[in-house]
Structure formats: structure tokens, C-alpha cells
Amino acid sequence: MTIGNLAAATATKVETIRWYERVGLLPAPPRTDGNYRSYGDEHLRRLSFIRRSRDLGFTVKKVRELLALADQRDRSCAEVDIIARAHLSEIEQKISDLMRLSNELRDVIDRCGCGSIAECNIIGALSPDGGTTRPKLPIAG
């Protein structure tokens, strides 16, 4: 299949496919007599694996490790489990951090009396001194 067909089949941009080839995640395909890339089913499977891994938030480095492990079919999957659990832990920590930020921002917003800027609790909460003085903010242009 052509690079365009592979891109369509995996919902991947052509430039991304070429980049995956340059960084060694996707093997370079053979060329036709007309010097076009000719991708096969293995490229489709590997690119689908890469895309799904990236969709789940794995870094390129971790995808590379997972691909190396996936190529060793008879090996124990313990290392894959370790990588996946570590990634899950990172995601859960990010969610926790985002929830904390969400709650803090919600509290600040809930205290807003929607009065003048001079009395704005949101501006005050964002100020380095906790709002005892209100900075004069530049006007966005």
C-alpha cells in the first residue's frame, strides 16, 4: 500500500509516518520500481500499535521499549506490565494534580462577588501578595 493508504488506514498524517521512520519506530518500507514506498501488513500492524500507544500517552521512548518487547514473543510480559503500571501511576498523579488545581480555582471563582476589578477576589488570589495590592495589568492588544 502507498503511504497515503497507510495514513488513511491508521488516521496518521503522512509526515508523522515519515517521522516514525526517521526515528526508527517504523521500519523503512521497500521501494517500488518507481521509487514509491510500498507498505505491507506488518507496517500497518506496527503503526497501529504505535498510534494506540501514543493515544494512551506513552512517550516515544516508552513506545520504542514496548515495540522491542513486543518483538520478543516468547518473553515474559513482566517488563511490559512494569512499563504500563508506571505510566498509569504517572497519569493518576496528573489527574490528582489537575483535580487539586480545579478545586482551588473553583474556590477562587466561588468567592468572586463580581464587583469592580479593584475588589476582584480572582485578581487578588492571582496577585503575589495575596491581594493586598492589586497590580495594574497591561491591556491586551
Q: Concatenated DSSP letters for 19-71? A: HHHHTTSSPPPPB-TTS-B---HHHHHHHHHHHHHHHTT--HHHHHHHHHHHT
Asked whether the predicted pLDDT for residue 135 surpasses 60, the reply is no
Cβ proximity of 18 and 4 under 8 Å: no
CATH code: domain 3-75 is 1.10.1660.10
Task: Report DSSP state, residue 11.
Answer: T
Predicted confidence (pLDDT) per residue in 105-127, tens digit: 998 888 887 878 777 888 888 88
Give the pTM: 0.75
Question: Where do the structural domains in the chain lie, given as residue ranges?
Answer: 3-75
Predicted confidence (pLDDT) per residue in 19-71, tens digit: 999 999 999 999 989 998 899 999 999 999 999 999 999 999 999 999 999 99
Task: Report DSSP state, residue 118.
Answer: G
Q: Which amino acid is at 42?
A: E
At residue 24, the pLDDT reads: 94
Q: Which amino acid is at 8?
A: A
At residue 18, the pLDDT reads: 96
Cβ proximity of 63 and 26 under 8 Å: no
